[in-house]
Chains A and B, each alone.
Chain A
Amino acid sequence: MIFEKVKERISDILGVDADEVTMESSFMDDLGADSLDVVELIMALEEEFEIEIPDEEAEKIQTVGDVVEYIKEHTDM
């Protein structure tokens, strides 16, 4: 459920096919994102899931799985 929503946002913001997005995809290495894309994506996900991802945590996020895990731990979904 979280993954589906995250996938949708990633596909919107990075302009990649939703099918290309897996839990293992690295934003920069596999999905062609640069650091500014990652900022935009994190802000969009913060809004969507009504959470705050502090910069110290955001720095550690490399893959789709990382961000899905973070959201899982910090929401009731």
Chain B
Amino acid sequence: MRTRICEMLNIKYPIFQGGMAWVSTYHLAAAVSEAGGLGIIAAGNADAEYVREQIKRIRQITDKPFGVNVMLLSPYVDEVMNVIIEERVPVITTGAGNPGKYIRALKEAGTKIIPVVPSVALAKKMEKDGVDGVIAEGTESGGHIGELTTMCLVPQVVDAVTIPVIAAGGIADGRGMLAAFALGAEGVQIGTRFVCSEECTVHLNYKNAIISAKDRDAVASGRSTGHPIRCLKNKLTREFDKLEEQRAPKEDIEKLGIGALRRAVIEGDVDKGSVMAGQISGLIKDIKPCKEIIEDLIKDYQNTLNKLRG
């Protein structure tokens, strides 16, 4: 299953670990990179010093390539980009917007740029701007989501661009990975499955909430704000629903979300915190090391492929 992504990034398996704010620390990213995938540190809304420290730490543990995910709506986005350029981070992924104005400086630093795109138009625009690949992320994902499903978005993006496409959203095992490859993807990005890894530092309550989640538990909130978020159903999501039913102002809905992710990830408050997770949560039944997650994915991928060949 070596693809252009493996060659380009010098990684063994075309498997990215999603950049999840508060969740994707250097511990998780290092474990995934060591296991042959691409570990990704999430910058989220953190400042430049946090990001620089994370980059230093991961380099102490592994000499394998890694990435940093930059959330473009962050108030610190400019200074975080500067750190990435100064530190010559091998790969950057971006979310929540158009990274166009940073592309030239990143390329000069030798950083590979792989933005998350929720639409064909943005994928084409990114290719024109010279990025190295795109992550086509479906609405099955956890956290900030777009409208289209992975099944519909991936083949349309694959047909629209010539650069490699990484599929994200709804993938947690080898079957999902193979399906993504059938749609034309040359890599997958996986988030929720890696949250339930031994190396991930989130509160145990958070991991257990994913493990006990069933098929319909990961719901989208805040559609009226224009920035919907997928989380596991709890008191907080019900509160969001209530505000939306009352057609509360956007500001009130957004205010309810402030600090909610930290509450779940760090304090383990899975009732009133924001337990961001994808629709595939229902498929995840255990906590295991990243290496095992990746090896199982590959094994399962091969077995499924053999079965299809008959």
Contact = CB atoms under 8 A, between A and B. Distances in A.
Nearest to A13: B121
Given A40-B119, A43-B121, A55-B98, 19 more contacts: A35-B97, A35-B98, A36-B119, A36-B121, A36-B122, A36-B146, A39-B98, A39-B121, A39-B125, A40-B121, A42-B125, A43-B124, A43-B125, A43-B128, A54-B100, A55-B100, A55-B101, A56-B101, A58-B100
A34 interface: yes
B226 interface: yes
B122 A39 contact: yes
A35 B129 CA distance: 17
Interface string B119-145: 101101100110000000000000000
Interface string B42-65: 000000000000000000000000
Contact of A34 (B98, B100, B125, B226): B226
Interface residues of B, number: 14
Contacts of B226: 34
B90 interface: no
Interface string A32-70: 001110011011000000000011101100000000000
Interface of A: 34-36, 39-40, 42-43, 54-56, 58-59
Interface string B256-279: 000000000000000000000000
Contacts, number: 28
B118 interface: yes
Interface in B206-241: 226
Nearest to B146: A36
A59 B101 CA distance: 10
B53 to A, nearest CB: 30
Contacts of B125: 39, 42-43
A68 to B, nearest CB: 21
Nearest to B129: A55
A51 to B, nearest CB: 13
Contacts of B118: 36
A56 to B, nearest CB: 6
Contacts of A35: 97-98
Contacts of A55: 98, 100-101, 129
A65 B128 CA distance: 25
A8 B124 CA distance: 22
A43 B166 CA distance: 23
A35 B99 CA distance: 13
Contacts of A40: 119, 121
Nearest to B99: A55
Contacts of B101: 55-56, 59
Interface in B91-127: 97-98, 100-101, 118-119, 121-122, 124-125
